[in-house]
Amino acid sequence: MSLLKIAVEPALIGAFVTTHEQVDVFQTDFTNIAAIVVGIESAQQVLETVERTGFAIPFFVAVEPNQEVPSSILPSASGVIQLRHGGRHYYGRQISAAADIYSENLLPPFFKVMREYVQRGYVEFDCPGHQGGQFFSNHPLGRMFFDFFGETIFRADLCNADVRLGDLLIHEGPALEAQRNAARIYNADKTYFVLNGTSTSNKVVTSALLAPDDLVLFDRNNHKSVHLGALVLSGARPVYLETARNAWGLIGGVDSAALDETRIRDAIRDVAPERAGLPRPFRLAVIQLGTYDGTIYNAREIVDRIGHLCDYILFDSAWVGYEQFIPMMQDCSPLMLTLGPDDPGIFVTQSVHKQQAGFSQTSQIHKKDSHIEGQKRFCDHRRFNNAYMIHASTSPFYPMFAALDVNAQMHAGPAGKRLWRDCVAHGVDARKLLLKTCRQIRPFVPQSIDGRPWADYPTEQIVDDLRFFRFHPADTWHGFEGYADDQYFVDPCKLLLTTPGIDRDTHEYAAFGAPAPILARYLREHGVVPEKADLYTILFLLTPSESFGKLQHLVAHLAQFERHLDQDTPLREAIPSLCEAYPELYGNMRLRQLCQRMHDFYRSHDMKHLQKQMFRRAQFPKQAMLPQAANTELIRNNVELVTLDRIEGRIATEGALPYPPGIFCVVPGEAWGGPALDYFRALEAGINALPGFEPEIQGVYLQARPDGTKQASAYVVAAGADASNA
C-alpha cells in the first residue's frame, strides 16, 4: 500500500520515529502529505499555506522547552510536541496515528473497498478472462500491453461475481454509498454513475420520462444523444426553441423571446393543437445548461419561465458540472435551486470526463425531484432504474466507477472550491497575458467594464464577479442577438479565442481573415491540442489540471502564429505536414495566402450566416415525419442514398451534423432544404477546395468521384414509402 508522507520542517526531520516517510515541508504541494510537523517560527507561514489548499491535514507544532505556541495557531493545531523530552517514539506514534486517520478519511466508499480488494490478491476464476492481466502476459504483444498500463489497472478490472463491492445496476453496498456521497456533494436527491458517457446518461433520462407522442420542449442546441433518446428511441414529439449563433461561429443560447409562454403555446398549436391549452403540456424540457462554446444559462430563469409548463426539466450539463464549486457561478446551477411542489422535477447530466476528474466516458445523472414526490408526474427510483438498466452494461469497468467516486470526493469541502478558484484565476491571467502579447488573436471577453479595460482589473476581483463575463444585449463585442440582460455569461473555464476575419463592431467579414481551423492545424503541428475550432473561433478547455506555465506555453505558440502571419511564412515552414500531404496544392503556398483562400471561401458561401440561419425558427427544416418513424424507414431499408445536389425536399432518415459540436442540423424526419442543405453543400465544397481541413460529418456520406473529388450523399425515405407518421 502506498503511504502518504509526513511533511516536516528540515531541522526536525528524524526527530520522531514514524511509520511514514518524512519529507521537507517546504518542498511539497501537500497532495502527498498525511501530517505536518513544524516549529513555532515557521508554523504560521505553513499553516496559512495548508489552509489555502483546503486539505484538512493534521498539523503538529514542535516546541523547545519553555516555548509557547501563539494563541493564533493553537486552535488549528492537532497536537503540540515537546522536543528534547525523550519522546521520539511516543510522539512518532501520535503523528503516525493522525496520518493514518487522515489517509483513511480521504478514501470515498467505493474506491476504498476496491483498493482493499485488489491488495488482498484473491484467486480468481471469474470474468474478465485476462485474469488480472495474466492472459496478456503470456504473449509478447500482450506483455507490451500489460507493461504499458501497469498491473494495477488489470487487477482492478473486476467481475460482479463477487458482491463485495456492491451491485452497480441495482445499487447496493459500496456502489450505493458512493452514489449517495456524490449526491450529497453535488446537492442532488439521488446520483447515478454512468459508464458510457453523457450520451447514455441523456438516453437514460429520456427513456425514463418519455413515451411515444409525449411533448418535449427542445433546445435546438441539444446534443445528438438527446435527439436520439427523446425523439428516435422514445418517440416523443418535439417543440423546438430557436438558438443563437454569432459571426465568429460560436454556439449561443436560446433566445429570450423563445421562452415566452404565449410563443411556446403557439408553437404547440403547430405540432399538437389539442394540447396547446393544457396546464402542463410538456412531459419534459431539455435545455443545455452550458453550450460547447461556453454560453452558460441561468437555471433559475429557465425554471421560472418554463417550469410550470413541464413535468420535468433535463439540464444537459455535459460541458459544465463544476459551476456550483465556483462561487460566482453558483446561481446558475439547477442543483442549488430551492424548489416547491409546483416546480418541475430536475435532472442534470454531467460529463465528468470533460472538465472534471474522470476517465473518458465517465458521466453522472443527478436527480432532484423530492419536491414533487407523491404526484402523478413523479418518476420514482424503481421506474427510473429500469431505464438505467436498459442502457447500462452488465459488465461494468470498475476503475471508471471508482473514478466517479473519487471525483466527487475531491470536490467535497473547501478543497473543491480552491481547485476551481485556481483554475479560474489561471484562465484570467492567461487572457491578460494574451491581451498583452497578441494583437490579432483575442480572448472572448468584454473589452471593458465600466469604462476601464478588462485586463486592468485585479485577477482576485475578476474571479469573483460575473460582470467580467456577462453578455449584455447592447454590447457589440459578443455579436449575439436575442439575449436579455443577465440571461447568459461566458464560462470562465472555456478559454475562447477569436481569430482575424470578423469586424468586432459590425460583425461583417473583414478584408483579410485567418480562420481558426488553420490556427488549430498549426498548433497541433507544434504539439498543442485545442478542443475545437470553427470559422473564426478556437476553444481550449480549462480544468484544475492547468498550470500557468502550461498556459504561457500556449500563449507563446499563439504569438508565434501571429509572427508567421505578419511575416507571411511559407507553409512548408509553418505547417510542413500540410505540404507533405498535398504538395501540389500547398507546396508553394504561404500562410497568408492559405488564410485568405479559406476566408474568401467562408465569405463566398456566407458560412456565418448559414450557421446562424439553421437555428432560427423560420428556417428550421420542415418536419415531414416524426423522427422515430423516419428511423423505422431506415431500419426497414425503405431508403435511398441521394446526393446533396438532388436531395432537396427529400425526408432525412438520419440526423446530419458536423462533429464537433454534435448538434443535429437536420433531424430524422425533416425535409432537406433551406440553410441546412446550403450549409452541407458548402461543407462538401470546402472538403474539395481545402483538403486537410475536412470536418467530421455524421449522417452524410462522402464518396470519391472519378476525378478524385468527394461527393456527399445522405439516406432519405424512399419514394413511395409510407410517410403518414407526421
Residue 203 and residue 229 in contact, taking contact as beta carbons nearer than 8 Å: yes
Rg (CA), the chain: 28
Catalytic residue from among 353, 354, 391, 478: 354
Exposure class string for 387-417: b at 16+ Cβ within 10 A, else e: bbeebbeeebbbbbbbbbbbbbbbbbeebbb
- The backbone region for 84, taken as left when phi is positive above 0, alpha when psi lies in -120 to 50, beta otherwise, is left
Residue 212 and residue 451 in contact, taking contact as beta carbons nearer than 8 Å: no
Closest CA to 99 of 21, 39, 42, 46: 21
Query: What is the rounded CA–CA span in Å between residue 641 and residue 716?
Result: 6
Q: Cell triple for residue 266?
A: 403557439
Query: What is the rounded CA–CA span in Å between residue 431 and residue 443?
Result: 6
Residue appearing with cell numbers 446551477: 333
Give Cα separations from 170 to 108, 173, 179, 192, 631 (angstroms).
20, 10, 12, 11, 31
Give yes or no: 367 in active site.
no
Segment holding 640, helix H or strand E: strand 639-643
Can you tell me whether residue 655 is helix, strand or coil? Answer: coil
Closest CA to 630 of 602, 609, 601, 650: 650
Closest CA to 270 of 212, 321, 215: 215
Query: What is the rounded CA–CA span in Å between residue 526 and residue 558?
Result: 11
**Sheet strands side by side (includes 532-534):** 442-443, 494-498, 537-541, 532-534
Closest CA to 376 of 312, 461, 465, 448: 312
359 contact partners, CB below 8 Å, separation of at least 6: 353, 399, 400, 403
CB atoms under 10 Å from CB of 336, counted, come to 16
**Sheet strands side by side (includes 59-63):** 22-24, 5-8, 33-39, 59-63, 79-82
Residue 504 burial (C-beta neighbours within 10 Å; 0-12, 13-18, 19+): middle
Query: What is the rounded CA–CA span in Å between residue 388 and residue 253?
Result: 29
Give yes or no: 557 in active site.
no
Catalytic residue from among 157, 219, 316, 343: 316
Exposure class string for 105-144: b at 16+ Cβ within 10 A, else e: ebbbbbbbbbeebbeeeeeeeeeeebbbbeebbeeeeeee
Q: Cell triple for residue 359?
A: 476517465
Catalytic residue from among 112, 171, 203, 223: 223
Give yes or no: 29 in active site.
no
Residue 303 and residue 337 in contact, taking contact as beta carbons nearer than 8 Å: yes
CA 243 remoteness from chain centre: 20
Residue 588 and residue 653 in contact, taking contact as beta carbons nearer than 8 Å: no
Q: Cell triple for residue 608?
A: 456565418
Closest CA to 208 of 377, 389, 387, 382: 387
DSSP state of 233: I
Q: Cell triple for residue 235?
A: 418517440
Helices (H) and strands (E) in the chain, counts: 24, 27
> Which residues are annotated as catalytic?
223, 316, 354
